[in-house]
Structure 1
């Protein structure tokens, strides 16, 4: 019972002896080599109280040297992104002229940072799925580079499956920024997610959000469509040819049977004027004119020769 009472007493009255409790839960949050050192206030203190924190670091060399100052802040974090080699960091709480013992953590950025998810674009094309990748990116105050530029290598691991059968997962790896999933079933919904992988460190990145797309046909035209297109083309060609022949023949026959002609202008002018009165045509012969009849004689060629012969004979007789 007494040890516990002594411990409580010390925790409550340590500030009076020139010491304050150290910060708690000191940790490094690092994603894509952006390293943020975080901590919680010492026991009995709040974030908004008049307390400061002193952060120092020292590179983890064989001969490390002295600690270097990095941050003196009232916030509960310190950005250590500029440090790209493994190092030790310390956090000390300060209240007035009193300070806590430093809390030390060790961190190796390349080995311990978390690789974020890549950016992925997916499109369905002729029974395939085209995928494009970008990132993850290392971001600092002045630059934005691909993680590949930092590690020197980067693989994209693609996991895909049919939406109706999520237990059967297939995978493919590529170091390129684009890829194509082939041998997919047509008109089927496939889902996929992608993660970055760095083999030299055995680091697996976070997965990208799940993306689902429906495949279309396989890009091959079925034989029945080819046959249908061929027959339709043949029928169209035959119909067009027969139509041209029919109209050509009809137009030529009309031209030969009914040649074009024009009515003389004086007849057009006469016919265009309406008659003022009906013409006076006698319907019955009038007695005033009487009858005038003459005899018509039809002479054939033979009769004409005989007549000429008789006229010659008569002429000879008259001469005698």
Structure 2
């Protein structure tokens, strides 16, 4: 009888213990390879799924702000994605801890927690933006700071400089460097008719952070500008040659026009004479119709005394007749 009771009690105990053993053996494995990706003050928590997991899993991600709150706050819940973006919940000077766990139908894995992450110190600075403008043999390098997602760059890294490297295209091994540049615009005087390539980094005094390098940007130079005194001399020579040529051209044009369209003027004494009243009357008479001329026939006779007397008599009568008319 006692053995029977003992057997029944053992079976009951085993039944009570087996569910617990099953729950322990069926506990979900935790996500693996948890990591933080932070560029320009953005922050994304990433992880890999549990090894040998079965079925559809979801994930829960949380964060805790050190020295502000001791409890975690949920950002991503019931997501199947293997990442969670915390950027909009963070402060540029905050110190944070993140954690994630796997879930399935009420079952959960253990939390996997990150180390403390200091935003302004640990975030990676992206590359600056570089623009090149060519002017003769000069190239102007314009640099823009990386664009941060939750702050202005100068509000956090107000003491930053630029490291510039450049080289002739095709001669990457002959790189020239300019470090500690504080200006956002730099003009370099280079060789004419040559193509140059540039790459720029940002270096911050705070935490001595170096950004990712900019894209390689190339630009070609052209013919350089002459020096001021050379330009002045050239302008003087051009003016000295062009001015006489212009004057000579005008003079020849004037001569040609004068030849084709002459301006004839009467002498001064002719003008005075024509303006005289008597001359005007003469001109008026010349313009009026001319009277018929009166004439007599004249006969030439052979010489002799009698003939001379007759001729003299005829001439006297003819003169008297004309006076009468």
Say whether the fold is shared (TM-score over 0.5): yes
Q: CA deviation at 1:204?
A: 0.9
**1:43–1:221 CA distance, 2 compared to 1 (3 A):** same
Is 1:111 aligned with 2:118?
no
The aligned counterpart of 1:41 is 49
Mapped to 2, the partners of 1:293 and 1:119 lie a distance apart of 127
| Cα RMSD after superposing both structures | 3.3
1:41-83 Cα distance to aligned partner (Å, 9 max, x none): 111237xx5322122222334x972333332132211122222
1:269-290 Cα distance to aligned partner (Å, 9 max, x none): xxxxxxxxxxxxxxxxxxxxxx
Decide whether the 8 Å contact of 2:165 with 2:176 is kept in 1.
yes
Q: CA deviation at 1:23?
A: 0.2
Is 1:101 aligned with 2:106?
no
The aligned counterpart of 1:180 is 186
Mapped to 1, the partners of 2:64 and 2:230 lie a distance apart of 75
Is 1:138 aligned with 2:148?
yes
Decide which of 192, 198, 211 is 2:198's aligned counterpart: 192
The aligned counterpart of 1:243 is 249
Moved more, 242-251 or 204-213: 242-251
The aligned counterpart of 1:122 is 132
Decide whether the 8 Å contact of 1:159 with 1:193 is kept in 2.
yes
Decide whether the 8 Å contact of 1:136 with 1:146 is kept in 2.
no
TM-score w.r.t. structure 1 length?
A: 0.65
Moved more, 33-42 or 85-94: 85-94
**1:103–1:213 CA distance, 2 compared to 1 (3 A):** same
SS of the aligned residue for 2:248 comes to helix
Is 1:169 aligned with 2:176?
yes
Alignment map for 1:40-59 (pairs within 5 Å): 40-45=48-53, 49-59=55-65
Q: CA deviation at 1:21?
A: 0.8
The aligned counterpart of 1:215 is 221
Mapped to 2, the partners of 1:174 and 1:15 lie a distance apart of 63
Mapped to 2, the partners of 1:87 and 1:14 lie a distance apart of 37
Mapped to 1, the partners of 2:22 and 2:48 lie a distance apart of 19
Q: CA deviation at 1:19?
A: 1.3
1:254-304 Cα distance to aligned partner (Å, 9 max, x none): 435899xxxxxxxxxxxxxxxxxxxxxxxxxxxxxxx96669xxxxxxxxx
Decide whether the 8 Å contact of 1:118 with 1:194 is kept in 2.
yes
TM-score w.r.t. structure 2 length?
A: 0.64
Decide whether the 8 Å contact of 2:142 with 2:185 is kept in 1.
yes
Q: CA deviation at 1:205?
A: 0.7
**1:23–1:256 CA distance, 2 compared to 1 (3 A):** same
**1:225–1:109 CA distance, 2 compared to 1 (3 A):** closer
Alignment map for 1:198-209 (pairs within 5 Å): 198-209=204-215
Decide whether the 8 Å contact of 1:15 with 1:98 is kept in 2.
no
5+ residue gaps, structure 1, are 1-12, 260-290, 296-320
Mapped to 1, the partners of 2:202 and 2:247 lie a distance apart of 63
Moved more, 225-234 or 250-259: 250-259
The aligned counterpart of 1:269 is none
Q: How many residues align?
A: 244
SS of the aligned residue for 2:263 comes to helix
Mapped to 1, the partners of 2:196 and 2:222 lie a distance apart of 11
5+ residue gaps, structure 2, are 1-20, 268-296, 302-325
Mapped to 1, the partners of 2:32 and 2:58 lie a distance apart of 14
Whose helix fraction is larger, Structure 1's or Structure 2's?
Answer: 2
